[in-house]
Amino acid sequence: ATPIAMLATIGAAAKQGILIKGGKYLEALAKTSVLLIDKTGTLTHGQPAVSQVVVHAATNEAEVLCWAAAAEQDSEHPLAKAIVRAARDRSIDLPHVREFKALAGSGVQAVVEGQTVVVGHQRLLGEHPLQAQANALEQQGQTVIWVLREQQVLGLIACADRLRADVAPAIAQLRRLGIDTIEILTGDNRAVAANIAEQLGISYQAELLPADKLAIVRRYQAQGHHVVMIGDGVNDAPALAQAHVGIAMGVAGTAVALDAAHIALLRDDWSLIPQALALALRTMRIVK
Ligand code: ADP
Ligand code: MG
C-alpha cells in the first residue's frame, strides 16, 4: 500500500500542476542521480522561427518554403510549425499532400502534387551540395533543415530557437538538491547543442535518433544510475518510458510523451521540476 505521506504529497503536487502517476515514481525521483533533458521544446521555447532560406534547385525562397510547408503541414514538430508559419506569413498557398509520414527524429516525407518531398535533417540526404552554407549556419547556432523534391535539394531553411528563461535557475536548484550529472540529449546538431549546453553549464550528446536516446538511458541504468528523463516530443517517448522516471512537459508537449511519462507537468513552468524533486526528497525522508 502507498503510505499516507506519499498520497498526501501526490495530492499536494497535483494542486501545483505536477501529476505523479504513482507512489513508486515519487520514491524513484528521490533517488535521482542522472538527469537527461531533451532540447527542442523542453529547454528551448520550442517555437523556433525561420531565420533564413537558402535557394539551391528552387527558383526562389518562396518556392523552397512552399514545398517544405506543404509536406510539414500535418506534423506537430516545432520546426514544422515554424516552417508552416513562415509560409503563411508570406501568404503562400499550400498545395495538398498525400501519404504524409513523420520520420521520427529526422523529419517528414509526403507526396506533394505527385512528387515525393522530404524535409529534415542532413542524415536524410545522399549528397550535400550546400555543405559550406549549412556548416556556416550551424556554427551560428541555427538548426538547418534540408528540403528535397524527388531527391533533389531545393534549398535549406535555417531556424533559430531560444533558451527558456526559467531553465537556468531550475538547473541551479537541481544541483543544490544534489544532482551532479545533467545532460542534454538532442537530435539537433552539435553546434546548437553546445551553445545551449554552455549557457547552462551542463553536458550534451547531439545528433541522436529516438533509439539513441533510449540506449543512453539504458547505459546509465546499467551503470547503476537512477535516471530521470525530461522531454516533450514523440521522439522522446521511448526514453521517457524506459527511464526510472520520465517527466513530460505537459502543456506544450505531445500526447505520446504525456502517455509514456510517469510524471506530467500541467503548467508550462520549469521551476516545477526542482519542486517535484524537493517534494520527493522530503516525502521519502518521512516515509523511511
Ligand atoms: P530534439 O531532440 O532536440 O527535440 P528532434 O529529435 O525532434 O530534436 O529532431 C532532431 C532533428 O531532426 C532536428 O534538429 C531536425 O534537423 C530534424 N527534424 C525532426 N523533425 C523534423 C520536422 N518535422 N521537420 C524538419 N526537421 C525535422
Ligand atoms: Mg523535443
**Same domain flag for 172 and 79:** no
How high is the pLDDT of residue 250?
Answer: 75
- Both 137 and 185 in a single domain? no
CA–CA distance, 18 with 30 (Å, rounded to integer):
15
| Structural domain boundaries, residue 104 | 49-160
Contact of 49 with 158, CB cutoff 8 Å = no
Tens of pLDDT, residues 188-218: 889 889 989 999 999 999 999 989 999 999 9
Which residue among 136, 160, 184 closes a domain? 160
The verdict on pTM exceeding 0.90 is: no
Cβ within 8 Å of residue 13, ≥6 positions away: 19, 20, 276, 279
- From 40, 159, 207, the mutation candidate for ligand 1 (largest count of ligand atoms within 8 A of CB) is 40
The closest ligand to the CA of 74 turns out to be: 1
- Is 268 an annotated catalytic residue? no
Q: What angle do CA 45, 51, 55 make, to 5 degrees?
A: 140
277/175 same-domain check: yes
Q: Please measure the distance between the N-terminal and C-terminal CA atoms of the chain and give it in whole angstroms.
A: 14
Residue 155 Cβ inside 6 Å of ligand 1? The answer reads no
Residue 162 has pLDDT above 80, yes or no: yes
Alpha carbon separation from 22 to 25, 107, 288 (Å, rounded): 6, 34, 17
Catalytic, out of 38, 188, 232, 236: 38
Task: Point out the domain boundary residue: 160, 189, 211.
Answer: 160
What would the mean pLDDT of 136-163 be, rounded to a whole number?
93
CATH code of the domain covering residue 152: 3.40.1110.10
Residues 171 and 244 in one domain: yes
Residues 8 and 74 in one domain: no
Which of ligand 1's atoms lies nearest the C-alpha of 192?
14
Both 153 and 169 in one domain: the answer is no
Decide the pairing of beta strands 263-265 and 18-20.
Answer: antiparallel
- Indicate whether 171 and 28 sit together in one domain: yes
Compute, in angstroms, the gap from residue 7 CA to the centroid of ligand 2: 31
Q: Are residues 168 and 151 in the same domain?
A: no
Q: What is the pLDDT of residues 30-79, one digit of tens each?
A: 999 999 999 988 999 878 999 999 999 999 999 999 999 999 999 988 89
Nearest by Cα to 233 from 208, 252, 206, 211: 252
Tens of pLDDT, residue by residue over 80-111, are: 999 999 999 999 999 999 999 999 889 999 99
Q: How many domains does the chain have?
A: 2
Q: Are residues 244 and 167 in the same domain?
A: yes
Closest among 175, 249, 173, 164 to 199, alpha carbons compared: 164
Query: Would the CB of 40 count as within 6 Å of ligand 1?
Result: yes
Strand order in the sheet with 263-265: 18-20, 263-265, 245-249, 227-231, 34-38, 181-185, 203-205
DSSP E strands: which ranges in 81-171?
Answer: 97-103, 107-112, 115-120, 143-149, 152-160
Please give the pLDDT value at position 148.
96
Q: What is the ipTM of this complex?
A: 0.95
Atom from ligand 1 closest to the CA of residue 232: 4
Query: Same domain, yes or no, for 64 and 155?
Result: yes
Residues 188 and 259 in one domain: yes
Nearest CA to ligand 1 atom 13: 188
Q: Within this chain, do residues 181 and 216 fall inside the same structural domain, yes or no? A: yes
- The continuous run of DSSP H or E covering 241 comes out as helix 237-242
Residue to mutate (ligand 1; options 188, 189, 214, 216; most atoms within 8 A of CB): 188
Q: What is the CATH number of the domain that holds 173?
A: 3.40.50.1000
Domain boundary among 110, 140, 160: 160
